[in-house]
Amino acid sequence: MKKVLIAYVSRTGNTERMANYIAEGVRFSGNEPVLQKTSAFKNDKELAGYDAYIFGCPTYHKDMTSGMKQFLFLASNLKYEGKTGGAFGSHTHSGESAPMIFDTMEHVLKIRMTDLGPLNLTEAEIATDEGLKACQAYGKALGENL
């Protein structure tokens, strides 16, 4: 069983709901998800020891939250050779955060990112059965690739 860190920022609960659904998918794949808000990490050593990383945050003003930016800066101090990753985000209008996180994880952190690309849902989609299934499928697919 592999350990998958799902670290997220959530202000209204929508992105946290996505994180929980993604964790269910990781469990479906036979792996262990570890859910944590990014604000809980105090140093880069706390990010070590996972087999895969999935990071997510909502889009605010066409950007990632400042908390996610600080977290990614903290995360840049580790080596991720051979690790798998994914990114997700919620939004009302534009949805830039998930692709930005995905690109940062791939090009700066050098994590081998999932072929699925980032998971990006509107807040309205998250509350539907389709949104739930999309999140679960994302977590399961990432877990099955470990």
What length does the chain have? 146
In terms of phi and psi (left: phi > 0; alpha: psi -120 to 50; beta: otherwise), the region of 33 is: beta
Write down the pLDDT at residue 93: 84
Q: What is the pLDDT of residue 141?
A: 96
Q: What angle do CA 85, 90, 93 make, to 5 degrees?
A: 135
The pTM for the full model equals 0.95
Q: Which fold has domain 3-144?
A: Rossmann fold (3.40.50)
Residues of the chain with pLDDT under 50: none
pLDDT for residue 11:
87
- From the list 14, 114, 7, 128, the residue with the least C-alpha distance to 68 is 7
121 burial via Cβ count (<10 Å: 0-12, 13-18, 19+): buried
CA torsion through residues 23, 27, 33, 35, sign: positive
Q: Domain segments of the chain: what residues?
A: 3-144
